[in-house]
Structure 1
């Protein structure tokens, strides 16, 4: 069948079981939008308020569902508005296919209207990118892009399509998606060395990251921890990959991790890093764990010995590695290590703060009580992000979505929309701060237009809380440009967009607001007024050993 390039694109997306595209139309993609119109019963296009929102929505959709997210934008500013969202997905290994239009081929390189070299711009922040100059290559390129995005270490792939390519005619034949390469190869010699080192060790600590979730290896991680009786600390990106109520779970690890996780990491005799990359916000210096041997299991060979020199590195599919490792391991009780773990966990226990005061711990706890086990929690970036990571308690993968590597303020609203579209039977809650929400609050119009039952909870402290916290601790309280003094009424703003909105000053008021919010089938915003001087603790100062933990009492 001979059809134009735009028709080939949409039909090939349908072949890849794409049900939803997030995007914004423009001149260079008019042919694509015309094809979308003709296939509107097969593929749903959600128009956002801003292209960055499209990228974040596709990202949230991918994180929540495990599928490839797809977004679409026109040339020039439409394409460049996607860049922050692409970089966010790249840093957190999220599979996206990003489609941009470009000017017609004869106009490329001539500073034409709305022309930009988006392939050159995004080269450092994509797994791969393409410009399709021949319509006969379009279908093959799209199929290849989906395979690359979802194969190995996942990530975003960009396809740039000149406008005349979308108009040109070519042959289309329906084809199955390209098969992913099976990542089942494991170096048996190194696997045996890994097993021997684990079997010889008495104080093992597992440091696990987002690779557990993207690799669908949560069950294998649990089996490993229980067999060798090892405590488990998770990175921000790994939360949900290990049940938080499990007696071996020590909480988050790193700059704002639990004291138990950080101390275990520095006192173990063997640290096993699984699907984690020794980020500077966790452990980026072997001197911090100088008494331990280190094993690193990861799907990306480039991560082995990149930030920390390790004793053994094994590359491959994490799920497969753990499946093959488990039979080689001895049961280990490690009673002295377990006693130390219980001592540390007991010291970490904190009681909930005064229930009359509207504080971050109460806010997060009440959100969990309201949505029960049906919640998918999305955050922006800042203090609220860390409080939500620390206090909520995640039992299942893909229930905590946050920008980890890039730390993108403004990520949350788009990501919450994408997550709710992808998981309509779950209740998505966005926990955000007034600073982050101000960056992409325009996407409220998308949530309202699509009638999405997202609950938005703003921890409104009238400051850029995390930056202000650093100014308090490290800059002698010189609060330069972090006290916002804005007059925005978020309740009125939400109502202007067509959403329902409430404001809470006390824990009792918040409980009432959340009780009402869960009964709505449309967006609800709750503006929570909190103290600007609340700080996130525990905290490790930048560059300090992770065992040197600052607590609130230290101030």
Structure 2
């Protein structure tokens, strides 16, 4: 049977289990869109901007664990995906981005809407392809999904010239994918030796801390992590990307560490004699001053990516492998490991820090962002999926929403992308249609992709967006206040939009909160409406995120404690 390249592409995506594509049509992908028109098995979500399509595919992947797929035309359509691809790369999110391209004969001739998208995205993808033979489409798609989803996940790009989409070749549907997806091999054949050494270190440690990162979520190793922590009686602190891997209210939970982490997490790491990093990469917002990070601790590092070993921090025991599998092995060893060392003094010390340095804010009767987030938690009982933009509101959410489960917090960690949270919530809602998805945004970030209100109205997605509106770029302003002698250079919005009217102009519900007593009732109304809702929450521009570690300082040198 003769099929076009576009038909083979869509059939190949169906073979990979793709049920949703986020995209925006254009001339260089018309053959693909024509096939999608006749393919009811795939839901296509047309966003208002290609960047939003990439972020939506990212959000979909994070909450489902599946590979997210986005699609754009060539030239500016492809370059509009770049920020979303980079965001997925930094946070290790499995994604396949498909771009249209000019016909092969026009490549390299500065043709209309031609751009070298494979060259542009080379540093921000695990791999990318330009398909020059229609017969290779099926194998390219297969390999793209393998690369995106195995090992350390990440984005893969497939560039499809228009003539390749239109060319036809023999296609035998009876030939299925006989070969299973090949997984990346175990990089370290000495893991069993390293695990034995690690267990010895754990048994001898008097003041150990587990430092868990996003790799725990990706591997599905949260139960193994909790089992490990409880067996060995070791407190757990997490990165922004790992919130929910250990329930926030668990006695061993220290919350987030680093620049805006809890004081007790930062003190614990700074005084630990053993730090066990699990699926984390020691990024600068966590580590602060490299020379003074965990100065008393031996360090065990568990990660699937061998390139992370020793990249930012020297470690004593590197263990390269899948986090879930390594933790399973450690837990098995711990059953046979007699541990006579008591950690009561260490546990008590941490409890004292928790009592002495709790998260706190000034309650003076005005509307506080921290209070709003606490009420969102109370109303949802911690069962919602929360997405955020980037800035102060992101850190307040990390601090004050008590995440219970993995894959319920969707945020841009590595790249810090303003404009991410709202379209990511679209992907999250499509991926988990039976769960409530709530966006917590700043007014600056929200405006970057606010046109996606049209998308949530068009597809009747019951998203609730809370805009913490302080009429400024809050986090930038905070830095200018603390470190630039209050020189507020180009951060204040002297005239921003009326978000209630903006919501209503698209056909969404618009609400506004100005007083603390309005918060709970308004959130209830928004959730009960089961419609797209934008809530404008008016807060003070002077409100700051504390604790805060100044850039380059040791993490136990905090402002606002």
Decide: shared fold, TM above 0.5.
yes
Task: Call closer, same or farther: CA 1:355–1:62 in 2, change over 3 Å.
Answer: farther
Shift of 1:182: 6.3
The answer to whether the Cα contact below 8 Å between 1:355 and 1:362 also exists between their aligned partners in 2 is no
* 1:197 pairs with 2:201: yes
Partner of 1:20: 20
* 1:283 pairs with 2:292: no
Shift of 1:374: 2.9
Partner of 1:304: 309
The answer to whether the Cα contact below 8 Å between 1:471 and 1:479 also exists between their aligned partners in 2 is yes
Report the more deviating stretch, 221-230 or 539-548.
Answer: 221-230
Report the more deviating stretch, 323-332 or 349-358.
Answer: 349-358
Shift of 1:353: 5.2
Distance 1:146 1:223 in 2: 32
Task: Call closer, same or farther: CA 1:253–1:173 in 2, change over 3 Å.
Answer: farther
Shift of 1:442: 0.6
The answer to whether the Cα contact below 8 Å between 1:56 and 1:411 also exists between their aligned partners in 2 is yes
Distance 1:94 1:35 in 2: 27
The answer to whether the Cα contact below 8 Å between 1:458 and 1:527 also exists between their aligned partners in 2 is yes
Shift of 1:171: 2.7
Structure 1 unmatched runs, 5+: none
The answer to whether the Cα contact below 8 Å between 1:371 and 1:518 also exists between their aligned partners in 2 is no
> Which of 213, 236, 239 is matched with 1:235 structurally?
239
Distance 2:248 2:375 in 1: 17
Partner of 2:168: 169
Alignment of 1:285-434 (within 5 A): 285-329=290-334, 330=337, 331=339, 333-350=342-359, 354=363, 356-434=365-443
The answer to whether the Cα contact below 8 Å between 1:56 and 1:415 also exists between their aligned partners in 2 is yes
Distance 1:487 1:92 in 2: 31
Q: Residues 419-456 of structure 1, C-alpha deviation per residue, up to 9 Å, x if partnerless?
A: 00000010000000000001110111101100000000
Distance 1:352 1:73 in 2: 45
Q: Residues 360-395 of structure 1, C-alpha deviation per residue, up to 9 Å, x if partnerless?
A: 111101111222243000000000000000000101
Shift of 1:351: 5.9
Distance 2:182 2:246 in 1: 27
* 1:269 pairs with 2:273: yes
Partner of 1:152: 151
Report the more deviating stretch, 171-180 or 108-117.
Answer: 171-180
Partner of 2:255: 251
Q: Residues 229-278 of structure 1, C-alpha deviation per residue, up to 9 Å, x if partnerless?
A: 11110000010111111101011000000001101101010011110000
The answer to whether the Cα contact below 8 Å between 2:471 and 2:496 also exists between their aligned partners in 1 is no
The answer to whether the Cα contact below 8 Å between 1:225 and 1:248 also exists between their aligned partners in 2 is yes
Distance 2:359 2:147 in 1: 45
Shift of 1:520: 1.8
The answer to whether the Cα contact below 8 Å between 1:355 and 1:507 also exists between their aligned partners in 2 is no
Partner of 1:6: 6
Shift of 1:9: 0.6
Distance 1:287 1:367 in 2: 37
Q: Residues 310-342 of structure 1, C-alpha deviation per residue, up to 9 Å, x if partnerless?
A: 111110000000101112234454111111111
The answer to whether the Cα contact below 8 Å between 2:382 and 2:403 also exists between their aligned partners in 1 is no
Structure 2 unmatched runs, 5+: none
Q: Residues 436-477 of structure 1, C-alpha deviation per residue, up to 9 Å, x if partnerless?
A: 001110111101100000000000000100000000111010
The answer to whether the Cα contact below 8 Å between 2:382 and 2:401 also exists between their aligned partners in 1 is no
Give the SS at the match of 1:539: coil
| CA-atom RMSD in angstroms | 1.4
Partner of 1:112: 111
Shift of 1:355: 8.1
The answer to whether the Cα contact below 8 Å between 2:262 and 2:359 also exists between their aligned partners in 1 is no
Distance 1:374 1:258 in 2: 23
The answer to whether the Cα contact below 8 Å between 1:353 and 1:361 also exists between their aligned partners in 2 is no
Shift of 1:289: 1.6
* 1:453 pairs with 2:453: no
Shift of 1:357: 2.4
Number of aligned residues = 551
Task: Call closer, same or farther: CA 1:452–1:333 in 2, change over 3 Å.
Answer: farther
Distance 2:515 2:92 in 1: 39
